[in-house]
Amino acid sequence: MSESPAARLQKLFEGHRLTPTQRRIAHCMVRGAAEVPFLSSVELAELAGVSQPSVTRFAVALGFDGYPALRRHLREVAPAERAADGEEDAYNEYQQAVQGEIENLRQLSAMLADPAPVQEAGRLLAGSRPLPVLGLRAASSQARGFAYFAAKVHPDVRLLDEGGSMLADRIDAAAGAGASALLCFALPRHPKEVAEALEHARGAGLTVVTVADSAFAPVARHSDLLIPAPVGTGLAFDTACAPMLLGRVLLESMADALPDAQARLEAFDARAAARGLFVE
């Protein structure tokens, strides 16, 4: 499978130490990979919510003489044709949101062509006893869904979906009980306390595995292994099909690394049948 424009852009930014403003520009470019090669520096600045000089400095930080040189490079390494006139207008706003999510899933599929990061994450999560799973605000449903299914194959999963002063205590308790890793789901808008919790977790000796909307998300510098999955922004509230699917992929990888996962699933099914939990 050929790489998507977004995946090629991602590689362009890797290895560069970017400021928060520059990460914001990079994030914006990855999310709009199909359009970015056609934008002026002023248009990109407006799209990213930064100043035009910031876009110029960003291009220089990547090793280009200026934004025009970066844009020429983008048209070579991340070619993408604009939709034909009227093609995008053929969809209503709800269909456009769905089309955007389909593209996000394509990006996720292209990223998963290299399974090594997911396999490494699965190994880390399987080896942690207990396994804390963090997700606050918009990401709480992702964390809760992962924790629900993970508990069927992992012996000790601890959901952390509430912030406040006790969050650090619960992380400390997990570390004290033997946890070696923490899984975090981090989605926009990124709560400050998530970054603080990850920093605390690493200070407690935990390896932080993060699912975030971008490799340039604010939580990146607090993560040991970050696997990106883009969110949709076509509606009033972001949609998160790709992060949810990536969570299920991580579940699969973790289960593969747990020698007794199948036995646990069969035992659960037997108990569920005996209790009549589900309607046949």
Average pLDDT, the chain: 89
State how far the Cα of 267 lies from the Cα of 278, in Å rounded to an integer.
Answer: 15
pLDDT at 114: 93
CA distance 183 to 208: 6
pLDDT along the chain (280 residues), means of 10: 68 80 84 83 88 92 91 74 54 86 90 95 98 97 97 97 95 98 94 96 98 90 95 85 97 96 93 90
User: Which residue, 37, 123, 115, 137, is CA-closest to 80?
Assistant: 37
Peptide bond into 130 cis (omega under 30): yes
